[in-house]
Structure 1
């Protein structure tokens, strides 16, 4: 049976992907010297990154709740999971070629691959209250428990680091699993208590966002090569 699409969730994911593309375009402008901004310490940029990642993971959690509600089979889950994990490996390879000293070993796609698997196994067994409490624990635990053992590239994926690693993207399981858990609980609650918020019609201006949201992984993989290529071409023409 073909899974039902939820246009409003797709549009929300599409909004996140557009915001991300604008953010990355500004990052690339800075990298090639067209603007001067501190993307690593300025709250204007670090706050946007946190908001964008949070929106992505919230949508991913909601999407898992809706998929499980519709009886998503394990084979279909594995197909989609394989796409996410495969793209994560490509991101690591591509970032290593561009930034060998700060390549992405555990970015947003790596985190999503691990967290989606955890959510697929544990989500149906959790009550909404348990999901909320576990999500809160995931958000707070990195503040209370840190150790140098987790500072290497082989262990920092858990998130209990004493300092943020030098990498172009870092989305560890903790605390970000908390956001995905809350998205899962939110999606399940909306299905039962406010289904119209999920199934309602979209205004015309938001429909392109819904289309983009359905192809978010493909867009994620191609947008940076396209943006970087355009900036390199512009730099060549300016020289």
Structure 2
């Protein structure tokens, strides 16, 4: 099967404003998510966004958008024939950027560094998707369905070995700040391939190919979409630098600062009496009382001794007696 685009002017197969703008929107969404993650990580807000389902789904939808657009982009870039030079240059850029993310995150977060994040997935998916550029769209969709469903129907502790974590079929997810394994995420790339092939096969889609964003918002998003890789690489450095400066001025959010102790307190309380509401009120009382004592810096620094534990237990008993 030889994909052909109608003659719509030079570069139509390579750059569609609509696709660049869609990628720009995904970039903006990514920055919003990472800004919120940074606020939570630096304890500038009381909410831990990793514990909020809506934020987790927001992050997943952003990753799915990038991978879907990767599939469409592969089809458009090679619709008039495969261009190995351009393909290899793009793959080298993405692969190099993925390696840079791994190295940088290893030094910044050694316990949760990024070994297979969104860039790693895009790089590998760009290779795995190549055969589907010449295969029928129905086959791409069928394989996409299998890839998306695989983690729901087949996981095994035998695949928990670190060197197999990139598959995404282990019984336990690895500890990492960004995890986008082949299963299920490669499925979104294949869906993008199928959609891209459907677009260029329809004459009506050429109106989308010819469309140009003229207003400021469209042009800004188009620019962001075309510069998505450098933006991805530098935006977190900029955000963290700014927010770390803010942290030096404001200090951490009190609720965020107390979060680890509060979570441990509530978990211990629920094991004993199983009343979440009572435990929440009691632990809140304990935190409020301990903040006013010399114990609080020791709690935050994890420097509690046996006598300190006794004082905390007395405070807990008092709060439990006074709880409504």
TM-score tier (shorter): over 0.9
Distance across 1 between alignment mates of 2:169 and 2:242? 38
Distance across 2 between alignment mates of 1:43 and 1:36? 16
1:158-186 superposed Cα distances (whole Å, 9 cap, x missing partner): 11111221110100011111100001111
Aligned partner (choices 210, 215, 218) of residue 199 of structure 1: 210
Distance across 1 between alignment mates of 2:50 and 2:37? 10
For 1:23, the equivalent position in structure 2 comes to 33
Distance across 2 between alignment mates of 1:179 and 1:132? 9
Distance across 2 between alignment mates of 1:115 and 1:16? 18
**Equivalenced residues, count:** 238
1:67-102 superposed Cα distances (whole Å, 9 cap, x missing partner): 110334112111110110111111111111121111
- The verdict on how the C-alpha distance between 1:207 and 1:182 changes in structure 2, with shifts beyond 3 A counting, is same
Aligned partner (choices 101, 104, 108) of residue 118 of structure 2: 108
Are residues 1:135 and 2:144 paired?
yes
- The verdict on how the C-alpha distance between 1:200 and 1:42 changes in structure 2, with shifts beyond 3 A counting, is same
Preserved contact between residue 44 and residue 247 of structure 2 (Cα < 8 Å) = no
CA shift, 1:216, in A, is: 0.2
Distance across 2 between alignment mates of 1:29 and 1:201? 36
**Helix, strand or coil at the partner of 1:103:** coil
Distance across 2 between alignment mates of 1:175 and 1:233? 38
- The verdict on how the C-alpha distance between 1:203 and 1:37 changes in structure 2, with shifts beyond 3 A counting, is farther
Preserved contact between residue 138 and residue 174 of structure 1 (Cα < 8 Å) = yes
For 1:52, the equivalent position in structure 2 comes to 62
Distance across 2 between alignment mates of 1:102 and 1:6? 37
Are residues 1:221 and 2:230 paired?
no
Give ranges in structure 2 of 5+ residues lacking alignment: 1-9, 252-324
- Which of the two has higher C-alpha Rg? 2
Distance across 2 between alignment mates of 1:38 and 1:163? 21
Q: CA RMSD in A?
A: 1.6
Give ranges in structure 1 of 5+ residues lacking alignment: none
Give matches, 1:58-73, under 5 Å: 58-73=68-83
Are residues 1:150 and 2:159 paired?
yes
Aligned partner (choices 201, 205, 208) of residue 220 of structure 2: 208
1:190-232 superposed Cα distances (whole Å, 9 cap, x missing partner): 1112232343232512121011100100100000001001112
Aligned partner (choices 72, 85, 90) of residue 100 of structure 2: 90
Which one is further off, 148-157 or 191-200? 191-200
**Helix, strand or coil at the partner of 1:69:** coil
For 2:175, the equivalent position in structure 1 comes to 166
